[in-house]
Structures are given as C-alpha cells and as structure tokens.
Amino acid sequence: MDDLQDKVAVVTGAGSGIGRALAQRFAFEGMRLAVADIEADALDETVALLLDAGAQVLARPTDVTDAADVAELAADVYDRFGAAHVLCNNAGVFAGGLLWELDDATVDWVLDVNVRGILHGVRAFVPRMLAGGEPGHVVNTASSAGIFGSPYTGPYTVSKFAAVGMSEVLAWDLSISGAPIGVSVLCPGAVATRIGFSDRNRPAEVEADKGVPADDADTEAGADAASAAALVTGALRDTTAKGIGPEVVADHVVDAIRTDRFLVFTGDGYAEALRGRTDALLDGVLPPLIDFT
Ligand SMILES: NC(=O)c1ccc[n+]([C@@H]2O[C@H](COP(=O)([O-])OP(=O)(O)OC[C@H]3O[C@@H](n4cnc5c(N)ncnc54)[C@H](O)[C@@H]3O)[C@@H](O)[C@H]2O)c1
C-alpha cells in the first residue's frame, strides 16, 4: 500500500509512546486519523499535536480489552470517515515476575490487552475493510519479546509470542481470501516510552501488587516474586530510557506498510539473533539470551 495521502489510519494506544508517534507520522503523510486510548487525558494531548499538524482527527477513549468498546470505535470511524485503510493494534502493557508466582488477575490483564486487544481490533475492523474492497494494511504491535524469550517477563513474553502467531495467521487468512490487505507484525527492541510504567493502566480490580499473590505476600515465595517483578520492571525502565525514539519506530512502520513487509525489527542485531535462535532450536537446546537494547 504505497499511497497514504487522505487514507484513514486507526491507532490504539495513541495516547503515548509508539502509538502517538505512529499517529504523528501518519498525519505527516497526509492521512486522516482515528486515535484511541484508555487514558482520555493522554489522548487529548495527542489530538492537540495532530490538530496542530493539520490532520483531520477522530478521538475516542477506548478500552481494547472490551470487544463492544472496540466495535463502537469502528462504528464511529466508519460514520466519520467511511473507511479504514491502516489499522494499528498497538495498545499494550507490561507486567513481569516469576512465572509460577504470578497471580491470575495480572496474567489475564496482560493477555487481555496485548492479545485480545489485537483480536478485538481485527474483528471490529477487518470485515469492514474487506467489504470496502480498498487496499489496506494491519499493523500489530508485538515486540522483540514476541520472538526471543527472557526470564522474569512471564505474561508479557507469552502475550507477545501470541501476538506474533496471531499476526501470521491473520496474514494467511487474508492472503487465502485474496484480500488486498497486508499485515505487519512490529517487533521493536527498547523504545523510549512509558511501557515501564504500565502499572498506571492496571484496572482497579487487578491488584497493583507487582505479581505477588496476596496470600503469599509475607512468605519467602512472595518476596521472591516481588523482587523478580521489581527487578525486571526496573531493568525495563532503564533499558527503554536508553532506547530509540518512538519516531524511529514509526519510520519503520511506514516503510513496512509501503513495502508490505511482514516482520518488522527496529535494530540491526535482531536478524542475526533470530538466526542464532533458530540454530539453537534446531540443535534442541534453549536459545541464548539476547541483548534487547
Ligand atoms: N517501549 C518499548 O521498548 C517496546 C518494545 C517492544 C514493544 N512495545 C510495545 O509497543 C506498544 C506501545 O507501547 P509503548 O512502548 O508506546 O508504551 P506506552 O505505555 O508509552 O504506551 C502504551 C499505550 O497503551 C495504552 N493502553 C494501555 N492499556 C490499554 C487498554 N486496555 N486500552 C487502550 N489503550 C491502552 C496506554 O494508556 C498507553 O497510552 C505496546 O504494545 C508495547 O508492548 C514497546
């Protein structure tokens, strides 16, 4: 999909980080924008930036874990613009900790946002995009953590592997259907955003206990879980603070849409690391840890 001028882009998680940068880059390309986020105030800030850039903008506070909410977003987009050409299922959250200590509420929250959020976007928009018959592109934000495993990142890594798998299935489903809609799965390394502060997005009913099961909080196992979660969150904050700017990620995404690229890495070392991972798997051994910076 080469010509983006006047086309309609939908971006979830557009109130911050990569989502905001995607929206700004699409505005620069002359696209009309529909932006959504669970944080209404942050979304308002994005809207102000887009309006300053001269874009036509529809903004709708939306929780991607709620299928009906995402369906209403799609209805609003089609009412306003009559089409969606680029769909970026980008909203995401991070939680870490030892896999055997994580509480179900935390795991469900991360899977709901990072996996079901994408599925809800696909269900709400793809049938309408197919009916429109125009060229389009779906960009699902996974992560390099959707390709490479690492310790203490339990639900996040599981969710991102699922996001990569879902993207591959979607690409095949669309291809087999003969649809003019491409798919990219975005797998960035460290990007300077607020992902290390995802606890701000925890729903009230999900204990903000950083992975410590309530009953175990005073036990040795509970303390281990807390320190593992704190350790990995601290490391994520450090790594992302030194990461590439989200606008660099947006450059990769626009290029992927134009060239119909499926897997989108944002750093030079990842392709070689993937070869190393594949060799290790074929040798039947645990793949080596990679440097996510
Ligand atoms: N920053 C990185 O290093 C990095 C690396 C790889 C992948 N990613 C992925 O990039 C995507 C964007 O994250 P980011 O790094 O810009 O972080 P961020 O925290 O700056 O932005 C994430 C946005 O998603 C929104 N969000 C959270 N839960 C939501 C929900 N239920 N419904 C709607 N919106 C919701 C947040 O309010 C926030 O505006 C995520 O999927 C993340 O996993 C980030």
Give yes or no for residue 95 CB within 6 A of ligand 1: no
Which of 238, 231, 235 is closest to 210 using CA atoms? 231
Give yes or no for residue 182 CB within 6 A of ligand 1: no
Residue 110 CA, ligand 1 centroid: distance in Å:
11
In the predicted model, what is the mean pLDDT of residues 115-135? 98
pLDDT the model gives residue 213: 41
Distance CA 70, CA 155 (A): 23
Residue nearest to atom 41 of ligand 1 (CA): 92
- Element holding 157 (H helix, E strand): helix 154-176
Query: Which string of DSSP letters, residue by residue, matches 31-43?
Result: -EEEEEES-HHHH
With beta carbons less than 8 A apart as the criterion, state whether 2 and 254 touch.
no
pLDDT the model gives residue 222: 53
Ligand 1, residues 38, 140, 156, 248: which to mutate, most atoms within 8 A of Cβ? 38
Residue nearest to atom 43 of ligand 1 (CA): 92
Give yes or no for residue 155 CB within 6 A of ligand 1: no
pLDDT the model gives residue 212: 41
What is the third-level CATH fold of 8-268?
Rossmann fold (3.40.50)
**What are the boundaries of each domain within the chain?**
8-268
Q: What Å distances lie between residue 277 and 13, 17, 281, 290, CA to CA?
A: 30, 29, 6, 9
Distance CA 131, CA 204 (A): 38
Residue 219 CA, ligand 1 centroid: distance in Å:
32
Give yes or no for residue 17 CB within 6 A of ligand 1: yes
Active site residues: 156
Task: Supply angle C-alpha 269, 89, 167, rounded to 5.
Answer: 60
Residue 199 CA, ligand 1 centroid: distance in Å:
11
Task: Please tell me the pTM assigned to this model.
Answer: 0.95
pLDDT in tens, 21-67: 999 999 999 999 999 999 999 999 999 999 999 999 999 999 999 99
Give yes or no for residue 195 CB within 6 A of ligand 1: yes
pLDDT in tens, 149-193: 999 999 999 999 999 999 999 999 999 999 999 999 999 999 999
- Provide the β-strand partners of residue 57: 33
Residue 196 CA, ligand 1 centroid: distance in Å:
9
The rounded mean pLDDT for the chain is 94
